Chain A
């Protein structure tokens, strides 16, 4: 059954092998000649580029400022995708992927400092 990129992949939730949310498919990376799908792109940098215009640039700029290591948008190789149904299921755990810049920063500097941050409920 054919895969429709806009319908089946774009804007779909990505979950890791434990069903923990990773992000949305904000864009899809194609090979240089446009023939093959190489990776999923997720995160504000990818989303901003997709929006385009003033709004898009603003979204990308705020994300780029947090990207101190200049890693670029979060990229998930397509071969890590196990299956696509109501979500895009990866075959790997979230920890093995590039971390989202904002989440990591907040975790370290804000949330992580509040007592009880490691308790679920």
Chain B
């Protein structure tokens, strides 16, 4: 399986609610040093990767950042791996 197979897929949570499309996969390093997928980031609406504003390190310019965060915050959810069910 490849990351590109998961990214862009629609995700639906346990109660059948549409969470939008998967835009990123969150990994934590496990005890053996391997990166393990723990969660996905899903965004409702047409915006996928938005110039990197999902990350805290990217700040400013003020207007661009505020616009981007406003768009993202409204619709982005972090979903733990366990809660995912694949949509069609």
Interface check B68, CB cutoff 8 A: no
Residues of A within 8 A of B24 (CB): 4-7
A92 to B44 alpha-carbon distance, docked (Å): 40
Q: What is the number of residues of chain B that contact chain A, defined by CB distance less than 8 Å?
A: 25
User: B-contacting residues of A (Cβ < 8 Å)?
Assistant: 2-7, 9-10, 27-32, 34-37, 41, 49-50, 78-79
Q: Is B31 an interface residue (CB 8 A)?
A: no
CB contacts between A and B, total, < 8 Å: 73
Q: Is the CB of A36 within 8 A of B2?
A: no
Determine whether B85 belongs to the interface, using a CB cutoff of 8 Å to chain A. Answer: no
Note all chain A residues with C-beta closer than 8 A to B64.
none
Contact (Cβ within 8 A) A2 B26: yes
Complexed CA–CA distance, A49 and B26 (Å): 22
Q: How far is the CB of A40 from chain B (nearest CB, A)?
A: 10
Query: Which of B's residues lie within 8 Å of A, judged by CB?
Result: 1-4, 6-7, 23-29, 33-38, 41, 49, 52, 54-55, 81
A36 near B25 with CB under 8 A, answer no
Taken together as a complex, chains A and B put the C-alpha atoms of A30 and B1 apart, in Å, by 5
Q: How far is the CB of B77 from chain A (nearest CB, A)?
A: 15
B3 contacts A7, CB within 8 Å? no
A2 with B6: in contact, given A36-B36, A37-B34 (CB under 8 Å)?
no
Residue from the set A27, A30, A49, A78 with the largest chain B CB neighbour count within 10 Å:
A30
What residues on B are CB-neighbors of A36 within 8 Å? 34-37
A7 touches B52 (CB 8 A): yes
Which of chain A's residues have a CB closer than 8 A to the CB of B25?
Answer: 4-6
